[in-house]
């Protein structure tokens, strides 16, 4: 979603035309469940784990992961926060950058294990901005990255720790991710 | 909204004429200048408003149903003729509330919420405007506005240079224009200008390629004050209803009864405030002695004008108390401060007439015992310090919109 938003902003904007459904809603749920298990496995439990969803595409995924983690551990409370990285982007002044939604980080992140959640990993620039933003909330013990779709085309040395699906794409294709599924499509110019 | 937008644009044109008129009564030279500046500003204005509006539209349209808004986006993103020399070939100004319109005000308020959150962080600073330079040019005394702007710029990681006439080359006889051009030559992206004469910020906008923010010009306007007042009102309204500020939008202003009390004639705060509140749909009543009203209110978007404060207060949601601007000669328009207080001061007795939910705002600096009683100034419903706190967030929003959220020119 977030990626689509940026692509659709004028003057490059266009209409998103879905072409192929890659994952169904059930597939997305299964992938999130697997990611939740991998998070527990890698961190040997949920101690100090904080899930942070990137606005706007990563937020519903983050809340779902938090919910699954809670269910896995008898209702253990995993703090979930949201982060809007607009003020940390490196394309301010190049394209319209306006924050989409609120940043709510649960408490100080010092010493925590932050699971950063986004919908699509593409150039890596959003994650770069998110890492900078996170450091303003305290020195996390570690930051791990969970994405529903890794579509390639990285422009920065950033890699995900948990991936829902690796999805090779053309640079000009669009990936739309929500809890209802993953759709590959194109942006058609007006 | 379209109708209201068109209405307020028309009002702006009319009221700038009225402003020129009131200036002429006092100072012929200043009036001439403000007239010229108003024309410059008007030409500039429509472009700036369209661009800010376009940025907002693009952000919103990208959220969901895109197709339906494409046409308007197209219209909004047509690049205005860019003046030469501006950074990126584009510059935007905030000279008057008219530059923004209802939609622009809503954008600023929404963006301010984000910066209110930034201010709550342990490190209340973001790198958004790294490498930009903001120059504050204050040719009139100011504490809160200047500090507020400079704090806002620093919290956005912009560099700040500042000068005031005393201690600058202006004191040696250099003209303001030469001074501004000199500073601009050092590479400034934005001038924050306060001056005792109406229209100076608009003139500065014509002299440089940088963005210009009006931080108060004479009796004319003080747009960021109006914006922070609106932000404060919106915050209080949201809290009263137990809602998140995000969820209330600007609908809370529709039908809101606002009484602006005191020295309207000399108040740029009142002018900007009236324009902003009316654009958002509030019903504004002016309460002032005839001597402290401008010669003509033609074109001012106010509901009513009265001199009976006791009569208005029970029907008021927001009581906006203005300071008696003695430095602009307001003292000569009232028999004595005590008499002014007797008729128009917000005394303890009068404050009790306000409905329970009503809030009291004051642009500061307060003169306790004249326009507002000390006890009233300390009531929880008096939100002066919140206004100041919001001032930083609102000015961050304004600077970010002018310098940061730029649109692409051409294909990127």
pLDDT per residue over A25-81, tens digit each?
999 999 999 999 999 999 999 999 999 999 889 999 999 999 999 998 887 889 999
Taken as a whole, chain B contains a residue count of 412
CA B235 from chain centre, in angstroms, equals 17
pLDDT value at B159 more than 50: yes
Token output for B92: 């935007």
Q: How confident is the model at residue A7 (pLDDT cuts 50, 70, 90)?
A: low
Q: Are residues B190 and B88 in the same domain?
A: yes
d(CA A80, CA B382): 36
Q: How confident is the model at residue B67 (pLDDT cuts 50, 70, 90)?
A: very low
pLDDT value at B403 more than 60: yes
Cis amide linkage into residue A56, ω under 30° from 0: yes
- What residue in A sits closest to B396 (Cα-Cα)? A87
d(CA A171, CA A123): 10
Query: Which residues are paired to B259 by β-bridges?
Result: B285, B319
d(CA B362, CA B269): 10
Q: Residues of B with CB below 8 A from A59's CB?
A: none
pLDDT value at B279 more than 50: yes
Mean pLDDT of B315-337: 88
What does residue B64 show for φ and ψ, rounded to 5 degrees?
Answer: -145, -110
Within-domain flag for B32? yes
Q: Are residues B64 and B144 in the same domain?
A: yes
Q: What pLDDT was estimated at residue B89?
A: 40
CA distances for B231 relative to B248, B280, B337, B380, B387, angstroms: 12, 12, 31, 17, 8
Most trustworthy range by pLDDT among B47-61, B68-82, B167-181, B387-401? B387-401
Mean pLDDT of B6-11: 38
For chain A, what is the radius of gyration of the CA atoms?
16
Q: Residues of B with CB below 8 A from A125's CB?
A: none
More confident residue, A79 or B79: A79
Q: What pLDDT was estimated at residue B38?
A: 41
Mean pLDDT of B111-137: 92
Helix or strand (DSSP H, E) at B102: helix B101-120
Report how far apart the first and last C-alpha atoms of chain A are (Å, whole number).
Answer: 20
> Is residue B189 within 8 angstroms of chain A, CB to CB?
no
Mean pLDDT of B179-196: 92
Mean pLDDT of B152-160: 96
> Is residue A132 within 8 angstroms of chain B, CB to CB?
yes
Verify whether the Cβ–Cβ distance B117 to A92 is below 8 Å. Answer: no
- What residue in B sits closest to A102 (Cα-Cα)? B114
pLDDT value at B329 more than 90: no
Q: What SS3 class is residue B407?
A: coil
Verify whether the Cβ–Cβ distance B406 to A96 is below 8 Å. Answer: yes
- Enumerate residues 6+ apart whose C-beta is below 8 A from A37: A72
Q: What pLDDT was estimated at residue A154?
A: 95
d(CA B65, CA B56): 15
What is the number of CB-based contacts under 8 A between chain A and chain B? 108
Total Cβ atoms within 10 A of residue B248 = 17
d(CA A96, CA A80): 28
pLDDT value at B382 more than 80: yes
pLDDT value at B200 more than 90: yes
Gap from B406 CA to chain A (nearest CA, Å): 5
- Enumerate residues 6+ apart whose C-beta is below 8 A from A70: A76, A77, A78
Q: Are residues B229 and B305 in the same domain?
A: yes
pLDDT value at B406 more than 80: no
Verify whether the Cβ–Cβ distance A87 to B128 is below 8 Å. Answer: yes
The residue range of the domain holding B209 is 2-220+391-404
The average confidence (pLDDT) of chain B is 79
Weakest mean pLDDT among A78-87, A94-103, B36-45 = B36-45
CATH number at residue B310: 3.40.50.1370
- What residue in B sits closest to A108 (Cα-Cα)? B122
More confident residue, A165 or B56: A165
More confident residue, B335 or A97: B335
Q: What pLDDT was estimated at residue B168?
A: 73
Q: Are residues B189 and B230 in the same domain?
A: no
CB-based contact B287:B312 (threshold 8 Å): yes
Of the candidates B54, B55, B114, the beta carbon closest to that of A99 is on B114
Task: Dump pLDDT digits (tens) for A112-124.
Answer: 999 999 999 999 9
pLDDT value at B322 more than 80: yes
Break chain A into its structural domains and give their ranges. 2-11+23-174
d(CA A149, CA A168): 9
Of the candidates B54, B67, B406, the beta carbon closest to that of A93 is on B406
Nearest to A85 by CA among A118, A45, A39: A118
pLDDT value at B35 more than 90: no
d(CA A156, CA A91): 14
What DSSP string runs through B198-264? TTHHHHHHHH-SSEEEEEEETTTB-HHHHHHHHHHHHHHHHHHTT--HHHHTTGGGTT-EEEEES--
For B160, how many CA atoms within 13 A lie in the half-sphere containing its CB?
Answer: 18
More confident residue, A156 or B6: A156
pLDDT value at B10 more than 90: no
Q: Are residues B323 and B337 in the same domain?
A: yes
Verify whether the Cβ–Cβ distance A95 to B407 is below 8 Å. Answer: yes
Mean pLDDT of B378-393: 94
More confident residue, B35 or B326: B326
Weakest mean pLDDT among B159-168, B231-240, B277-286 = B159-168
Task: Dump pLDDT digits (tens) for A125-172.
Answer: 999 999 999 999 999 999 999 999 999 999 999 999 999 999 999 998
Q: What SS3 class is residue A53?
A: strand
Q: How many domains does chain B have?
A: 2
pLDDT value at B330 more than 90: no
Q: How confident is the model at residue B328 (pLDDT cuts 50, 70, 90)?
A: confident
Helix or strand (DSSP H, E) at A182: strand A181-189
Q: Where are the beta strands (DSSP E) in B84-181?
A: 133-138, 159-163
Q: Are residues B44 and B190 in the same domain?
A: yes
Q: What pLDDT was estimated at residue A190?
A: 67
Gap from B63 CA to chain A (nearest CA, Å): 6
Q: What SS3 class is residue A84?
A: coil
Mean pLDDT of A87-112: 84
Q: How confident is the model at residue A4 (pLDDT cuts 50, 70, 90)?
A: low
Q: What SS3 class is residue A123?
A: coil
Query: Which residues are paired to B153 by β-bridges?
Result: none
CB-based contact A103:A84 (threshold 8 Å): yes
Q: How confident is the model at residue B42 (pLDDT cuts 50, 70, 90)?
A: very low
Using a pLDDT cut of 70, give the percent of chain B over it: 76
Sign of CA dihedral B8, B203, B168, B403: positive
CATH code of A2-11+23-174, in short, is 3.40.50.2020
Q: How confident is the model at residue A11 (pLDDT cuts 50, 70, 90)?
A: low
Q: Residues of A with CB below 8 A from B123's CB?
A: 136-137
CA distances for B196 relative to B145, B155, B218, angstroms: 14, 28, 4
Gap from B412 CA to chain A (nearest CA, Å): 7
Helix or strand (DSSP H, E) at B194: strand B190-195
Q: How confident is the model at residue B6 (pLDDT cuts 50, 70, 90)?
A: very low
d(CA B211, CA A130): 29
Q: Are residues B203 and B259 in the same domain?
A: no
């Amino acid at each position: 979603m977030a990626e689509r938003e940026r692509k659709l902003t004028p003057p490059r904007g266009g209409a998103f035309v879905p072409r192929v459904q890659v994952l169904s809603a059930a597939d997305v749920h299964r992938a999130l469940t697997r990611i939740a298990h991998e998070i527990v496995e890698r961190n040997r439990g949920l101690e100090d784990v904080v899930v942070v969803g990137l606005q706007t595409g990563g937020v519903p995924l983050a809340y779902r992961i938090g919910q699954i983690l809670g269910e896995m551990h008898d209702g253990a409370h995993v703090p979930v926060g949201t982060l809007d990285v607009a003020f940390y982007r490196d394309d301010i002044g190049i394209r319209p950058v306006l924050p989409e939604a609120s940043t709510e980080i649960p408490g100080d992140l010092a010493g925590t294990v932050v699971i950063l959640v986004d919908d699509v990993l593409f150039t890596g620039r959003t994650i770069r901005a998110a890492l900078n933003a996170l450091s303003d909330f305290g020195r996390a013990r570690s930051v791990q990255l969970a994405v529903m779709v890794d579509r390639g085309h990285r422009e920065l040395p950033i890699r995900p720790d948990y991936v829902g699906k690796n999805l090779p794409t053309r640079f000009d294709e669009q990936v739309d991710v929500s809890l209802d599924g993953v759709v590959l499509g194109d942006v058609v110019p007006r | 909204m379209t109708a209201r937008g068109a209405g307020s644009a028309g009002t702006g044109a009319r009221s700038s004429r009225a402003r020129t008129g009131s200036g002429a009564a006092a100072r012929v030279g200043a009036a001439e200048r403000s007239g010229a500046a108003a024309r410059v500003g008007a030409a500039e204005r429509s472009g700036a408003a369209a661009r800010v509006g376009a940025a907002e539209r693009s952000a919103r349209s990208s959220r969901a149903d895109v197709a339906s808004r494409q046409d308007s986006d197209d219209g909004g993103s047509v690049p205005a003729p860019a003046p030469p020399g501006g950074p990126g070939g584009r510059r935007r100004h905030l000279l008057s509330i008219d530059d923004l319109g209802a939609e622009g005000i809503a954008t600023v308020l929404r963006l301010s919420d984000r910066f209110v959150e930034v201010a709550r962080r342990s490190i209340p600073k973001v790198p958004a405007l790294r490498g930009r330079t903001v120059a504050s040019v204050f040719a009139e005394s100011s504490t809160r506005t200047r500090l507020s702007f400079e704090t806002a710029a620093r919290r956005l990681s912009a560099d700040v240079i500042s000068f005031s006439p005393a201690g600058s080359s202006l004191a040696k006889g250099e003209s303001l224009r030469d001074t501004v051009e000199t500073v601009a030559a050092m590479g400034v992206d934005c001038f924050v200008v306060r001056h005792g004469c109406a229209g100076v910020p608009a003139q500065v906008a014509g002299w440089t390629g940088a963005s210009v923010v009006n931080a108060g010009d004479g009796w004319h306007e003080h747009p960021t004050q109006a914006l922070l007042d609106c932000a404060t009102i919106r915050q209080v309204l949201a809290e009263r209803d137990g809602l998140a500020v995000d969820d209330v939008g600007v609908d809370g202003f529709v039908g809101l009864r606002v009484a602006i009390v005191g020295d309207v004639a000399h108040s740029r705060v009142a002018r900007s405030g009236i324009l902003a509140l009316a654009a958002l749909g509030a019903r504004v009543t002016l309460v002032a002695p005839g001597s402290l009203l401008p010669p003509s209110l033609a074109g001012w978007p106010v509901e009513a004008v009265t001199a009976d404060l006791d009569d208005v207060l029970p029907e008021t949601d927001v009581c906006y108390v203005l300071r008696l601007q003695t430095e602009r000669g307001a003292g000569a328009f009232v028999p004595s401060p005590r008499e002014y207080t007797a008729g128009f001061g917000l005394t303890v007795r009068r404050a009790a007439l306000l409905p329970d939910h009503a809030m009291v705002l004051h642009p500061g600096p307060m003169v306790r015992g004249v326009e507002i009683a000390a006890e009233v100034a300390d009531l929880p419903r008096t939100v002066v310090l919140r206004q100041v706190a919001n001032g930083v967030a609102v000015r961050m929003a304004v600077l970010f919109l002018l310098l940061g959220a730029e649109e692409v020119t051409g294909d990127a």
